[in-house]
């Protein structure tokens, strides 16, 4: 692991790091905030998955999470959104919603993306192993996951797929049903092929319909989000959770859009939600 930068913040350390990823077959960059703590202490780990066009830097620069993480004793990990580097395939038309910056947190099976686009394995296997090895304060028995937009899709689907690993799951403006919206049609078709039965494993609403369960969910969604009606459709998650008996706190925030102004405003609520569940016994 190579240290790109470290900065003191709220008594802890905000770092940016690079490593050679076995899952993605290329170098990957990520950020980690470690709050102040006593020697030998073990702290819970919150994963944050970013959205389309983003890198680790968006939430690191704009997320306003460090004060609360220092207060609550949470390690905050922000991976990149896709593999990058020489030889990594991209959308042939350079579109923002597929290819670089748009890995959709799946393991691609379709050429030419299958070689490097293995973001599911990266986020759930590769990077956690590195965090456990390189950050001695990280308590990998207490993990939670959140994300925004495409990353909200990733947080929901990964949380539903591994409910015993992640003790809390939340999202900002998530793509809740990619099988039913244009972003998802393009990404899931391009990475996984046209068999929609395969898509269901990467669709939060479909996972819930097929029996996946978590204890509860928190979602914040701005009502001025220009992607709300066509791409996000939170009412589909609300319906699925109601039918499955999953307690969902869905907050439609008046006047908020899809940007980090929304995320930073409600980040503290999400971190407290995660901390409460991460600190529980058992």
- Nearest Cα to Cα of residue 278 among 138, 152, 168: 168
With 90 as the cut, is the pLDDT of residue 4 above it?
A: yes
Q: Average pLDDT in the 180-204 region?
A: 97
268: burial class by Cβ within 10 Å (0-12, 13-18, 19+)? middle
Answer whether residue 13 shows pLDDT above 90. yes
Length of the chain: 282
Neighbours of 78 (CB within 10 A): 27
pLDDT for residue 51? 98
Give me 264's structure tokens: 């930073």
Phi and psi at 219, nearest 5°, equal -135, 130
Using one digit for the tens of pLDDT, what is the confidence trace for 235-278? 999 999 999 999 999 999 999 999 999 999 999 999 999 999 99
Report whether pLDDT(280) > 90: no
Give the domains, in start order, of the chain with CATH numbers: 2-279 (3.40.50.1820)
Q: What is the DSSP letter of 231?
A: I
pLDDT per residue as tens digits for the range 132-181: 999 999 999 999 999 999 999 999 999 999 999 999 999 999 999 999 99
Q: What is the mean pLDDT of residues 6-34?
A: 98
pLDDT digits (tens, 9 = 90+) for 70-120: 999 999 999 999 999 999 999 999 999 999 999 999 999 999 999 999 999
Q: Which segments within the chain are labelled E, that is strand?
A: 2-9, 12-21, 26-34, 43-49, 75-78, 138-148, 166-172, 217-222, 248-253
Q: Say yes or no to pLDDT of 281 above 90.
A: no
Mind telling me the catalytic residues? Answer: 149, 225, 258
CA distance 212 to 206: 9
In this model, does residue 282 exceed pLDDT 60?
no
């Amino acid at each position: 692991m190579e240290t790109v930068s470290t900065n003191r913040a709220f008594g802890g350390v905000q770092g940016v790091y690079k490593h050679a990823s076995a899952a993605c077959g290329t170098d990957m960059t990520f950020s980690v905030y470690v709050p102040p703590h006593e020697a030998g202490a073990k702290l819970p780990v919150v994963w944050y998955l970013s959205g389309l066009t983003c890198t680790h830097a968006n939430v690191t620069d704009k997320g306003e999470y460090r004060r609360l993480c220092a207060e609550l004793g949470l390690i905050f990990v922000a991976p990149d959104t896709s593999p990058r580097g020489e030889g990594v395939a991209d959308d042939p038309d350079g579109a923002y919603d597929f290819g670089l910056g748009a890995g959709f947190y799946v393991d691609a099976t379709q050429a030419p993306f299958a070689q490097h686009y293995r973001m599911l394995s990266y986020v759930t296997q590769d990077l956690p192993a590195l965090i456990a090895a390189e950050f001695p304060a990280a308590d990998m028995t207490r993990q939670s996951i959140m994300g925004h937009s495409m990353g909200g899709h990733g947080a929901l689907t990964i949380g539903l797929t591994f409910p015993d690993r992640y003790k809390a799951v939340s999202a900002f403006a998530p793509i809740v049903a990619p099988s039913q919206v244009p972003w998802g049609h393009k990404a899931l078709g391009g990475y996984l092929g046209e068999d929609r039965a395969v898509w269901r494993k990467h669709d939060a609403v479909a996972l819930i319909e097929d029996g996946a369960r978590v204890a509860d969910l928190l979602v914040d969604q701005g009502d001025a989000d220009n992607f709300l009606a066509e791409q996000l459709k939170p009412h589909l998650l609300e319906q699925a959770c109601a039918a499955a008996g999953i307690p969902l706190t869905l907050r439609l925030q008046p006047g908020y859009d899809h940007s980090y102004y929304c995320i930073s405003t409600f980040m503290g609520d999400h971190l407290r939600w995660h901390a409460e569940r991460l600190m529980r016994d058992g």
